[in-house]
Structure 1
């Protein structure tokens, strides 16, 4: 997966950032969101048992809803919709 731009909804407004695949871990595929302004880093991976997204690491503070929000955006990228 290539790097892509995305936005997360923060408590004070929108946070622009880039998502990339973290390839240094072979056990699970991890995705890193890095905000453009450098204030937020969030690393998530899919839990192979439940299929849900989980936080691996992040800067503090962070909103727990970001894990699902970012996971949904990644899912849309790796599972494209039907061609129109």
Structure 2
């Protein structure tokens, strides 16, 4: 999978960013979200049971972001062009 643009739902609105696959020694499927302003990052992986888990990320962190990001990975939303 190639990198793609997506959003996460923050407390003050949408957080725009890029998701890309990354390599990790302990997991086969790992993805990292980095916000466009680089103030937020979240790395998630699919564990051996098939559940998506948070590996690392910035704080504060909303627990719902793992589910939201995994949905964008498994069911990508149509491409979006972010306004700068």
Q: CA deviation at 1:27?
A: 3.2
Q: CA deviation at 1:41?
A: 0.4
In the superposition, the TM-score normalised over structure 2's length comes to 0.84
CA RMSD of aligned residues (A): 1.0
Q: Deviations over 1:15-59 (max 9, x none)?
A: 000000002x2431210000001110000001222x221000000
Q: Distance in 2 between matches of 1:66 and 1:32?
A: 12
Q: Distance in 2 between matches of 1:34 and 1:20?
A: 9
Q: Distance in 1 between matches of 2:7 and 2:17?
A: 6
Q: Count residues with an aligned counterpart.
A: 75
Larger Rg: 1
1:7 aligned residue: 7
Q: Give structure 1 stretches of 5+ with no counterpart.
A: 78-84
2:75 aligned residue: 76
